Structure 1
Amino acid sequence: MLNSNQNKTITINGSRFSDLPGFYDEASLVFMKDTDWKVGTLDGFDDILYGGFGVFENKDEVEITWKKSQKSREDLGPEATRIFYENKIKQGRPYNVELIRQKLDELLSENGQTLFEILIEIIQSHKNITLILE
């Protein structure tokens, strides 16, 4: 009888993107291969990591290797995060502008998370996923 839990290895390549939309394209390519669904938000990225509708099932053990992670740390660092928050504030609804302003203030005072750190936190919140930064 085959074990229903499979081990999957997925590689995110930081040399293939330099901004958050590029990361979403990379995530769509490596996690959602052969599907019509594309990642387009942080919540959407979190959703695909539950598995079941991309390249792995929700019981699978998954190893993600993030190549060129230092480049991604810089590309998705404070400046990109500031722009991300400012754009959400400008857009207003449906976003919680007060919460986003608070997150922007934390970022500007060097106490907030960058987009890279948020993505890492999202990945690490999934207990069946091991992350390797290269």
Structure 2
Amino acid sequence: MKNEIHHKKMTVINGSHFSDLEGFYEEISQLFMKDEDWKVGTLDGFDDILYGVETDITWKDSQKSKEDLGFDVTKEFYENKIRQGKPFNVQLIQQKLGELIVGKGQTLFEILIDIIESHKNITLILE
């Protein structure tokens, strides 16, 4: 019996295709949800679609995304949720915002990286 080499799928997230979280969700929906009639629109939703996915993800222009989804956008992301209030846990979000401001919190970019890396079947390469 020959040994069959199992090639993992390769998925490319292209940082030059988007400059905010909505754009990132759009890109992800194109990549992973082509045949679905719903799109990714939350961090939890992004996490959910990665279950059972086996792929290498190359994030091109990740430095651009790191800046695009950095401090300012993350701060705004939390402030919008606090303004909206329910159904969000405002206290938790205020805590996260506070951590971000003092330099201890994660930016959206770092949160997205963490979500991807929490899935053991996915290898992430930042380019």
User: TM-score, with normalisation over the residues of structure 1?
Assistant: 0.88
In the TM superposition, what whole-angstrom CA distance separates every residue of 1:70-118 from its partner, at most 9, and x where no partner exists?
0000000000000000000000000000000000000000110000000
Aligned-residue Cα RMSD (Å) equals: 1.4
Residue 50 of structure 2 corresponds to which residue in structure 1?
Answer: 49
- Equivalent pairs counted in the alignment come to 123
Which of 59, 81, 95 is 1:102 aligned to?
95
Q: State the secondary structure of the residue aligned to 1:30.
A: helix
Aligned equivalents of 2:95, 2:108: Cα separation in 1: 15
Matching residue of 1:25: 26
Identical counterparts, % of pairs: 70
SS at match of 1:110: coil
Tell me which of 55, 60, 73 is aligned to 1:80. Answer: 73
**Deviation at residue 34 of structure 1 after TM alignment:** 2.2
Deviation, structure 1 residue 61:
3.0
Q: Contact 1:6–1:61 (CA<8 Å) still a contact in 2?
A: no
Single out whichever of 77-86 and 26-35 deviates more from structure 2: 26-35
Residue identity matched to 1:73:
K
* Aligned residue in 2 for 1:39: 40
Cα distance in 1 for residues equivalent to 2:34 and 2:8 = 17
The AA in structure 1 aligned to 2:90 is V
Report the 3-state secondary structure (helix = DSSP H, G, I; strand = E; otherwise coil) of the residue aligned with 2:12: strand
Q: Does 1:67 align with 2:60?
A: yes
Post-superposition shift, 1:8?
Answer: 1.3
Unaligned runs of 5+ in 2: none
- Point out 4+ residue stretches in structure 1 off by more than 4 angstroms: none
